[in-house]
Amino acid sequence: MAELTIEQLVDGVRSGKRRPIARAISLVENGAPKGYELLKRLYPETGQAYAVGLTGSPGVGKSTLASALVSHTRAMGKQIGVISVDPSSPFTQGALLGDRIRLSDHFLDEGVFIRSMGARGHLGGLAQATLEAALVLDAAGKEIVFLETVGTGQSEVEVRSVADTVVLVLMPGSGDAVQALKAGIMEIPNVIAINKCDHPHAKTMLTEVRQMLALGEVERKPSIVLTEAIEGEGIEELWAAVEEHRDWLGPERLLERRRARIAVEVFAIASERAKEHLERKVADDPELQRVLRDVQDRKLDPLSAVRAIVERVFDIQGNGTDSVS
């Protein structure tokens, strides 16, 4: 394929067609200079898409729910994007097997763009790749972008930092509710979906979750919806709950939330870069390797080692009290 110019790429993304979007995301993911240029061009056009995060333990039905929500919102005539992030999977670029099966209904629909992302193949890390893909989809005119992430509480990609509305997906009989409470996760979601509600313990879980929510003090209690993702039961209600949260946010809170989010994201990516730089420098520097060995041999105390390392790598005072020298 002939090299596309920046102009062609920008137009391609704006057209909302699948191939140019895929090409653009790949360029950005691979850290190509053209990808960087492209994002710079497209960024001013973003901020239109509404991002809905789906998070929850492995296997609760996030992808199946996403697929059902795509059908529902497509029926409303919306342009849709889906990004599925699985840090535990080595695969990338649409190759996650489960997602291919779960979301395959939409593969022929030009109004839907689906991207799966695994751990590998992203220069700059998964968090950055996710942000960039979301921006490309936004610029491509996708009105709603669903973002699926495994909610381990410590995953690299925290859904609350990328979504306007966060849906926590739970499933009955899994101890999920208890886990969620322990993790303090109840404060995060805006909507809770109890999926696989055909399960005999669904009602019990609903009661448990309600009791937990009664304990917490949050600005707005998440709504709870029972769903059966395979049959599409409760999907209308789930979407209504998302829209209700969106309405509650209103334009001002939404803008506030997004402003806070983008700052967090930029800072997180910058921190990630700094960390990589540090690791590389230490690995390549015999002097710093010696410092590490000295700590191991108890010839040097740990804080002096830290100081020596950050002074050398970042040219800053490493005693924790001073910043740039």
Ligand X SMILES: Nc1nc2c(ncn2[C@@H]2O[C@H](COP(=O)(O)OP(=O)(O)OP(=O)(O)O)[C@@H](O)[C@H]2O)c(=O)[nH]1
Q: Which residues bind Mg ion (CB under 5 A)?
A: 62-63
Nearest approach, Cβ of 242 to ligand X (angstroms)? Answer: 17
Binding site for ligand X (CB under 6 A): 56, 58-64, 86, 98, 102, 150, 195-196, 198, 228-230
Work out what residue 228 binds among ligand X, Mg ion, none; the CB cut-off runs from 5 to 8 Å by kind: ligand X
Work out what residue 142 binds among Mg ion, ligand X, none; the CB cut-off runs from 5 to 8 Å by kind: none
Question: CB 205: neighbour CB atoms within 10 A?
Answer: 24
DSSP 122: -
Q: Which is nearer to ligand X, 60 or 188 (CB)?
A: 60
Burial 19-55 (b: 16+ CB within 10 A, else e): ebbbbbbbbbbeeeebbeebbeebeeebeebbbbbbb
- Whose CB is nearest to ligand X? 61
Q: Which is nearer to ligand X, 98 or 124 (CB)?
A: 98
Structure tokens of 89? 């999977």
Work out what residue 158 binds among Mg ion, ligand X, none; the CB cut-off runs from 5 to 8 Å by kind: none
Phi-psi region of 158 (alpha: psi -120 to 50; beta: other; left: phi over 0): beta
Beta bridge partners of 225: 193
Q: Which is nearer to Mg ion, 35 or 151 (CB)?
A: 151
Nearest approach, Cβ of 283 to Mg ion (angstroms)? Answer: 35
Report the distance separating Cα 115 and Cα 130, nearest Å: 10
Work out what residue 61 binds among Mg ion, ligand X, none; the CB cut-off runs from 5 to 8 Å by kind: ligand X
Nearest approach, Cβ of 207 to ligand X (angstroms)? Answer: 19
Structure tokens of 90? 């080595």
Nearest approach, Cβ of 198 to Mg ion (angstroms)? Answer: 19
Structure tokens of 176? 């999920």
Question: CB 244: neighbour CB atoms within 10 A?
Answer: 15
Q: Which is nearer to ligand X, 9 or 191 (CB)?
A: 191
Q: Up-side HSE of residue 127: CA atoms within 13 Å toward CB?
A: 21
Work out what residue 209 binds among ligand X, Mg ion, none; the CB cut-off runs from 5 to 8 Å by kind: none
